[in-house]
Amino acid sequence: MTQVERVESKGLSFIKMHGLGNDYVYIDRFTESAAFDPVTLAPLLADRHRGVGGDGLILVEPSNKATAKMRMFNADGSESEMCGNGVRCVGHLVVSRGYSAAGDLTIETGRGVLGMTVSPLSSKVSQVRVDMGQPLLNPEDIPVDSASVTEPIIDAASSVIGKHSEWWDASVLDARMTCVSMGNPHVIFYCGDVGKVPLEMIGPLVENHRFFPHRVNVHFVQCKSRDRVKMVTWERGSGPTQACGTGASAVCVAGRLTGRTNEMIKAELPGGELELSWDMKGSVYMSGPAEEVFLGVWQGLVP
């Protein structure tokens, strides 16, 4: 195959799915054997004007450790360790295609093997509860610039946003941050009203700040009560997204660590609600929907 080749006949089969609007193009590698470079293909497929459209590309592959393996690529082609909404959709796919019975199964991810319970609601929709694993709080595990900090970053003073004084009004943004890894890095800021946060201005500044050597997912959170939060996300490699499952899990952890929220919360995201729980000792648990939208065949460029 040449470096970039146009598919004219068979094409590349894909499935479009989303979890609360966090949408990806999925390729079922149990059945689709075409060769391609996912790093280069992901931006082509994810392009919302010239491609299928989505927050990225997810490959569902056979695994010798679990029911299936998930590989996730952001809209810019960078590979990420984990996607909470994506892994729920992978669970739906393996059950709906008959690779596993409904109920308990496991998915291999960049975070490790995660357990989940898949409850089909129809042939196209499932409710999925995922064991997201234990949060990582050590600076080197997130990672952050561990040369400048050695203790967990919980409600810590922050300079990663810059010196724009208008952002520090309490109704806009708290000047403190909490950093959590759910297998991928997250930073959480609290505010009085997420609607007032200039997400597209602050998000890329924080994502690419030198304090985060692998970049970071950025979340702004409004506590509506001790068991309900509202959040918006700037996702690493993709920008604003309708939902972020690992991010909501990190927010659940941050709320407990800072004393803002209870063990069980509901997170309101632009695309809908997720249920989260963390007992401050073991795994974070996340529950939410996975929905199949359509099937297609990509006959564009395949690198």
Rounded-to-10 torsion of CA 187, 193, 194, 195 = -160
Q: Do 223 and 248 reside in the same domain of the chain?
A: yes
Q: Is the dihedral of CA 113, 114, 116, 121 positive or negative?
A: negative
Q: Do 268 and 151 reside in the same domain of the chain?
A: yes
Q: Do 236 and 170 reside in the same domain of the chain?
A: yes
Q: Do 147 and 245 reside in the same domain of the chain?
A: yes
Contact 143, 106 (CB under 8 A): no
Contact 283, 131 (CB under 8 A): yes
For residue 248, what are the domain limits? 139-282
Q: Do 156 and 256 reside in the same domain of the chain?
A: yes
Segments in the chain below pLDDT 70: 1-9, 162-174
**Per the residue annotation, which of 179, 191, 223, 244 is the catalytic one?**
244
Which tokens hold the place of 62?
Answer: 């056979």
Tell me if residue 83 is catalytic. Answer: yes
Partners of residue 185 on adjacent β-strands: 181
Q: Do 185 and 274 reside in the same domain of the chain?
A: yes
80-93 per-position pLDDT tens digit: 999 999 999 999 99
CATH number of the domain that 74 lies in?
Answer: 3.10.310.10
Q: Do 188 and 298 reside in the same domain of the chain?
A: no
Neighbour count for residue 132 (Cβ, 10 Å):
28
Question: Which of helix, strand or coil describes residue 126?
Answer: strand
pLDDT in the model for residue 81:
92
Q: For the whole model, what pTM was predicted? A: 0.91
Q: Do 65 and 46 reside in the same domain of the chain?
A: yes
Q: Do 95 and 215 reside in the same domain of the chain?
A: no
Q: What is the DSSP letter of 194?
A: G
Q: Do 245 and 114 reside in the same domain of the chain?
A: no
pLDDT in the model for residue 170:
55
Instruction: Report the domain count for the chain.
Output: 2
Rounded to whole angstroms, how far apart are CA atoms 23 and 261? 28
pLDDT in the model for residue 303:
81
Q: Do 149 and 275 reside in the same domain of the chain?
A: yes
Tell me if residue 89 is catalytic. Answer: no
Q: Do 55 and 188 reside in the same domain of the chain?
A: no
